[in-house]
């Protein structure tokens, strides 16, 4: 079963990533799907480095989770 994912990204970043993907003969969608697969399988990991801990946006379907996420974000700033 498939599901749709929607998010916002910096326009220049998207264009740069799309261009690089096209040069390699692959779609940006494929890069994102491969990245999700690798992350979920533990093949890649992410973390925050000191001084690079900015959180831009958090969006959840549940209003109560959104409220808690907003509070957490304000505490982390």
Q: What is the DSSP letter of 72?
A: H
As given in the structure block, the two tokens for residue 31 are 């890069």
* Residue 3 to residue 57: CA distance in whole angstroms: 21
pTM of the entire structure? 0.58
Q: Where are the domains of the chain?
A: 10-46
List, as own/partner pairs, every contact residues 52-57 make where C-beta atoms lie below 8 angstroms and the sequence separation is at least 24, other chains included.
57/8
Distance (Å, whole) CA 42 – CA 16: 26
Q: In the 8-state DSSP scheme, what is residue 25?
A: T
Q: How far apart are CA 5 and CA 53, in angstroms?
A: 24
- The 10s digit of each residue's pLDDT in 17-74 is 999 999 999 999 999 999 999 989 888 877 766 666 565 665 666 777 777 777 777 7
């Amino acid at each position: 079963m498939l599901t749709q994912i929607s998010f916002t990204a910096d326009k220049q970043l998207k264009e740069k990533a799309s261009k690089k993907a096209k040069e390699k003969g692959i779609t940006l969608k494929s890069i994102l799907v491969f990245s999700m697969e690798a992350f979920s399988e533990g093949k890649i990991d992410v973390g925050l480095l000191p001084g690079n801990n900015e959180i831009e946006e958090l969006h959840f379907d549940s209003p109560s989770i959104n409220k808690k996420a907003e509070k957490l974000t304000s505490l982390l700033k």
